Amino acid sequence: MDEILEMLMKDARLTAEEIAKMTGQDAAAVRKKIKQYEKSGVIVQYKTVINQDMAHDNGSFVRALIEVSINPQRDVGFDNVAERIYSFAEVSSCYLVSGTYDLLVVVEGENLQTVSNFIASKLSPLANVRSTTTHFLLKKYKEDGFVLKKGKPQKRLNISY
């Protein structure tokens, strides 16, 4: 992967100038590359990693991982059904996976009720959805490479040699 992308993945606030300095490239060239990545869809979005459990201070946030088995359709396979599913705003992630089911769908909602309702009234009745198995998420430890627990700051001794 381009080093520019690696650096932005860790810190989206880095400016083109900063990246240029740190990678020994020309600032204008870096700016141009970033623009191209944005245009071609390599860079999808700049977002902030939030610990949802802490941000929703009344605790009203639930997430479910749903295993969905579907009947693939002639010519388009799983894509059409997947699109019908991921287009719902309630779906935050949707993956086609190998194994005993087909789609792994992540659904978010305010409480158990809203998420269950969504599954019962929207997801399960969809044509070509054979079955669903729902796992409500109990605790998130690590997400996209970030450990969500706020660790004690590493006490680095002021020792020098």
Partner 1 sequence: MGGNMDDKTVIHSRISKTVERLAPSGIRAFFDLVLNMKDVISLGVGEPDFVTPWLIREKAISSLEEGFTSYTSNKGMIELRRDIDRFLSERYGLRYDPENEILLTVGVSEGVDLAVRAILNPGEKVLVPEPAYVSYGPVVELAGGKPVYLKTDLTSGFKITPQLIEEACAREGAVKAMVINYPANPTGTSYSRRELSAMAAVIKKHDLIVISDEVYDELTYDFDHTPFASLPGMRDRVVYLNGFSKAYAMTGFRLGWASGPADVVAAMTKIHQYTMLCVSITAQMAAREALRHGRKSMLEMKREYNRRRRFIVDALNKIGLNCHMPQGAFYVFPSIAKTGQSSLDFAQGLLKKKKVALVPGTAFGPSCNGFVRISYASSYENLKEAVARIDAYLKEL
Binding footprint of partner 1 on the chain (CB under 8 A): 3, 7, 18, 21-24, 154, 156, 158-161
3-state DSSP assignment of residue 81? helix
Tell me whether residue 100 or residue 158 sits nearer to partner 1 (CB atom). 158
- Nearest distance from C-beta of residue 156 to partner 1, angstroms: 7
Nearest 10 degrees: Cα torsion 85, 87, 90, 96: 40
Q: What distance in Å separates the CA atoms of residue 87 and residue 89, rounded to the nearest whole number?
A: 6
Tell me whether residue 138 or residue 159 sits nearer to partner 1 (CB atom). 159
- Nearest distance from C-beta of residue 7 to partner 1, angstroms: 8
- Nearest distance from C-beta of residue 10 to partner 1, angstroms: 9
Tell me whether residue 40 or residue 158 sits nearer to partner 1 (CB atom). 158
3-state DSSP assignment of residue 144? coil
- Nearest distance from C-beta of residue 24 to partner 1, angstroms: 5
Alpha helices, H only, 27-152: 27-40, 52-55, 79-86, 112-118
E strand map for the chain: 62-70, 91-96, 103-109, 129-136, 142-143, 146-147
Tell me whether residue 89 or residue 159 sits nearer to partner 1 (CB atom). 159
- Nearest distance from C-beta of residue 52 to partner 1, angstroms: 25
CB atoms within 10 A of CB 81: 22
Tell me whether residue 26 or residue 79 sits nearer to partner 1 (CB atom). 26
